Amino acid sequence: MSPYLGEFLGTFLLILMGGSVNANLDLAKTKGSDSGWLLMSWGWGMSVFLGVYTALELGGSGHLNPAISIGMAAFGKLDSTLLLGYVFAQMAGAFCGAVITWVAFRMHFEATENADRKLGVFSTSPAIRHTSSNFLTELIGTFVLAFGALAASAPTNSLGALDALPVALLVAGIGMGLGGPTGYAINPARDLGPRIAHFVLPISGKRDSDWSYSWIPVIGPILGGILGVGLYHLIGG
């Protein structure tokens, strides 16, 4: 199987399932409306498990995240000739996953009056808008993700078919902690792909796509990913 197909389908499932968690919690008249942050964190963790497992089975690396791919390429852990294709596949998968989420919840988008909640199904936003703090939170969260994922997936820690589980638990844990200030994008594709989908889809009563904030969940995670992979590489990983 093609590694690009694996990254595309893995990221597609990540965003379809994760975005559906957002929609179920944030949109009006769903069965899970206002179920809380704990369910959000666990839901995204399980979405990561499905996405990573799928990507690995189909020949991908299970990154699903340009920040991880860029960090790995920067330190020779990913063939640099694959990087552009990986990032494109991840972005395309995220966009398509967001579109299908909208299709599945279309009636609930129409029933929801709050335009911020509609945008929140697709992309992240800070609880308190402060550029440097928001940027650092995304950087730190992605640093923890990159370093922790590499440590958890080391050959000595292999769980066989369940190798994706530690990363899923890590993402759930990040969500419950560091996710509070910004909604923890920790992945440029997870935020930018769906944000573009929000921009182009004919969503009734939508607001603007908050482009002034959009660079933070892209650049912050990329730097965090490079630092996380770099530290792991430096200490002999």
Is 151 contained in some domain? yes
Q: Which range, of 16-30, 67-81, 122-136, 156-170, averages the lowest pLDDT? A: 156-170
At 72 the pLDDT is 97
- Residue 171 makes CB contacts below 8 A (sequence gap 6+) with 44, 45, 48, 145, 186
Q: Name the pTM for this structure.
A: 0.96
Measuring CA to CA, which residue among 156, 146, 139 is closest to residue 78? 146
Q: Does 52 map to a domain?
A: yes
The answer to whether 226 touches 78, Cβ cutoff 8 Å, is: no
Work out the average pLDDT over 145-150: 96
CATH number of the structural domain spanning residue 120? 1.20.1080.10
3-state helix, strand, coil in the chain (%, to 5): 70, 0, 30
Q: Quick check: 160 pLDDT over 60?
A: no
226 in a structural domain: yes
Closest CA to 73 of 235, 234, 225, 236: 225
Q: Give the single-character DSSP code of 90.
A: H
Tokens linked to 69: 């791919």
Cβ atoms of 25 and 34 within 8 Å: the answer is yes
Distance CA 30, CA 157 (A): 40
Model pLDDT, residue 157: 57
Q: Closest Cα to residue 184, out of 230, 143, 235, 229?
A: 143
* Res. 237: pLDDT tops 70: no
Do 232 and 146 touch, CB atoms closer than 8 A? yes
For range 201-211, the mean pLDDT: 97
The range of the structural domain enclosing residue 48 comes to: 3-231
Query: How confident is the model over 163-180, as a mean pLDDT?
Result: 94
Average pLDDT of the residues in 147-175? 82
By percentage, how much of the chain surpasses pLDDT 90? 92
Task: Tell whether the model's pLDDT for residue 215 goes beyond 90.
Answer: yes
In total, how many domains does the chain have?
1
Residue type, 29: K
**Residues 135 and 220: beta-carbon distance below 8 Å:** yes
In a domain, 199, yes or no: yes
Domain-embedded: residue 113: yes
Which pLDDT band holds residue 59 (cuts at 50, 70, 90)?
Answer: very high
Query: What is the structure's pLDDT at 54?
Result: 95
**pLDDT surpassing 60 at residue 11:** yes
Above 70 in pLDDT, residue 155?
A: no
Mean pLDDT of 48-77: 95
Give residue 158's pLDDT band: very low, low, confident or very high (50, 70, 90). Answer: low
Per the domain annotation, does 63 fall within a domain? yes
**What SS3 class is residue 78?**
coil
CA distance 42 to 174: 10
Q: How many residues does the chain have?
A: 237
- pLDDT at position 159 is 56
Asked if residue 237 is part of any domain, the answer here is no
- Is-contact 123 195, C-beta < 8 A? yes
Residue at 236 is within a domain: no
**Mean pLDDT score across all residues of the chain:** 95
Residues in Cβ contact with 131 at an 8 Å cutoff, skipping those fewer than 6 apart: 216
